[in-house]
Amino acid sequence: GESVGLHLPTLSVQEGDNSIINCAYSNSASDYFIWYKQESGKGPQFIIDIRSNMDKRQGQRVTVLLNKTVKHLSLQIAATQPGDSAVYFCAENIKKDFNKFYFGSGTKLNVKP
Amino acid sequence: DSGVTQTPKHLITATGQRVTLRCSPRSGDLSVYWYQQSLDQGLQFLIQYYNGEERAKGNILERFSAQQFPDLHSELNLSSLELGDSALYFCASSRSSATNYGYTFGSGTRLTVV
């Protein structure tokens, strides 16, 4: 498959454990955020989003937390599975630049069986 | 399958050459976005088209150009290629011109310039 992010920070977790992936975003005017998952050889895939008027949003096995004070976003994955192994990106969208997302550099999640 | 189709999947070409990358958006999507993903730069927004018209421009070099055709497919043209243009090029699509709900990415074209 494709090699993406050879120099990315890596988080290694044991199967069944919870994972927390962090992201510091850059612009205090950002008001919409998405977490994407990118598996080898594939394009980024939407996981969960959150708007700036929320602090927390839950999906299936995933939770996103937003701390606007420190411009920090986190993705929590419960009961991590081998299929969760991928590179995870946070992306921010600023209302005035509504057409484009600014992506973070990504974190590689490695799930050990 | 995300519904966004990109061709070719892989492309190897020499410096100075010109290539065309193609993208077919998801059925019903009017907006097409192009992103470049390189190892040291992450995902960088290049350009967006909506219903045939350019809507937003990012860090796209003058050697690069794009267009969206009446059938809504889009092409990204890269000319006078340099080694540093080697990257994954992703196309994404969305229903509207704004990214209120994110967009759907294709699987990308891996361009290698030698």
Q: What percent of chain B has pLDDT over 70?
A: 95
What is the rounded average pLDDT of the residues A55-69?
95
Report the relative pairing of strands B109-113 and B10-13 from DSSP bridges: parallel
User: What gap in Å lies between CA B80 and CA B85, rounded to an integer?
Assistant: 10
Q: What is the pLDDT of residues A1-42, one digit of tens each?
A: 333 444 688 999 999 999 999 999 888 888 899 999 999 888
User: What gap in Å lies between CA A78 and CA A39, rounded to an integer?
Assistant: 18
Q: What is the pLDDT of residues B19-50, one digit of tens each?
A: 999 999 999 999 999 999 987 667 899 999 99
What is the rounded average pLDDT of the residues A56-62?
95
Q: What is the pLDDT of residues B66-75, one digit of tens each?
A: 999 999 999 9
Interface mutation vs chain A, best among B1, B4, B31, B37, most A CBs within 10 Å: B37
Confidence bin at B64 (pLDDT 50/70/90): very high
Query: Cβ(A106)–Cβ(A5) under 8 Å?
Result: yes
What is the rounded average pLDDT of the residues B97-109?
81
**pLDDT computed for residue A3 by the predictor:** 36
Q: Which chain A residues are closer than 8 Å to B31 by Cβ? A: 99
Residue in A7, A42, A99 nearest the CB of B98: A99
Q: What percent of chain B has pLDDT over 90?
A: 79
Residue in A3, A49, A99 nearest the CB of B97: A99
User: What gap in Å lies between CA B42 and CA A20, rounded to an integer?
Assistant: 21
**pLDDT computed for residue A51 by the predictor:** 92
Give Cα separations from A99 to A36, A47, A69, A105, B54 (angstroms).
Answer: 17, 19, 25, 20, 11
Decide if A42 and B4 are in contact by the 8 Å CB cutoff: no
Place of tokens 């994404």: B92
